[in-house]
Amino acid sequence: MNIYDAVKFRYSNRRYKFEEIDEELYKNIVDYANNIVPVFRKAEFYIDFIKATSPVNYLTNYRPIVAPYYICFFTKTNLESNLNMGYVMQAFSIYLTSIGLASSFMRPTGIRLVEKDGLKPVMMMAFGKAKGLPYRDVKYAHRHALDKFIYKFDECDDFSKGMIDYGVLAPSRLNQQPWRFEKRGNDIDIYLYRRFDSYRKADEVSVGAVLCNMLLYAEEKWHKAKVELNRVTVSHFKNADYICSIVFDSECET
């Protein structure tokens, strides 16, 4: 399965076989993760891998998912870092799906992790061989209708609709799908509904995952696009905050 198609079949799997991955494949997995280019290159981050030795000594009352492997994301807690985290971990998750492995985002609970060079462990991903199928048909994704995500839906062009439709296949906390979009000139502006403050970091991480999907869609369709902050100074949404924009090159027709 190629990376582009894997976006449509990726889902959060919480049941794993406690089996080792082939050593050469595991090396390729680590190499792939370490070579993912983030959205914001100046935002520092570090990733580390953990191999569980058995399901018994890795099962605690605080870990919701028991898996043979985990990737841990160390970074700072600001918008750029949260977007990077969501982007990189979504890219890694899509890759795992493409090679027949399952994954799931999770909080770094139940494992003693320490800061590395001032970077804190803020997100983890469980992965490994799934109990059952590692894929999900896109028709079972349970997403809102596209017109609920897009401001002035009827004025949005088909390419941008397709890109947003692909983007919202990203995971979000409790599948709340807190994203909203507006096509404005050569920009697609991304907003977050205001929710509990405790959800804010997870929601920003989910935007990073959306960006990963959307930029992959643009690349597949031969469009040049990048992510920028501060493209909108005043939000015209009463209950949503502007986060970032996907900006197309002026020569690209959208």
- Please tell me if the domain spanning 3-128 has the same topology as the one spanning 142-248: yes
Q: What is the CATH number of domain 3-128?
A: 3.40.109.10
The token duo for 47 is 């990733």
pLDDT tens figures, 96-109 = 999 999 999 988 76
Whole-number percent of the chain with pLDDT over 70: 91
Q: For residue 63, what are the contacts with CB-CB under 8 A and spacing of at least 6?
A: 106, 109, 110, 111
How does residue 60 score in pLDDT terms, banded at 50, 70 and 90? very low
Which range (39-43, 133-137, 153-157) has the least confidence? 133-137
Burial of 207 per CB tally in 10 Å (0-12, 13-18, 19+): buried
Kindly provide the b/e burial profile for residues 93-129, where b requires at least 16 CB atoms within 10 angstroms of the residue's own CB.
Answer: bbbbbbeebbbbbbebebeebeeeeeeebbbbbbbbb
Under a CB-based contact definition with an 8 Å cutoff, are residues 102 and 96 in contact? Answer: yes
Per-domain boundaries in the chain: 3-128, 142-248
> What pTM was computed for the model?
0.90
Q: Considering only CA atoms, which of 174, 213, 177, 220 is closest in space to residue 9?
A: 213
Under a CB-based contact definition with an 8 Å cutoff, are residues 225 and 163 in contact? Answer: no
Mean pLDDT across the chain, nearest whole number? 88
pLDDT tens figures, 197-218 = 667 888 999 999 999 999 999 9
Output the CA torsion 23→28→29→31 (10° steps): 130
Which CATH fold topology does 142-248 show? Answer: NADH Oxidase (3.40.109)
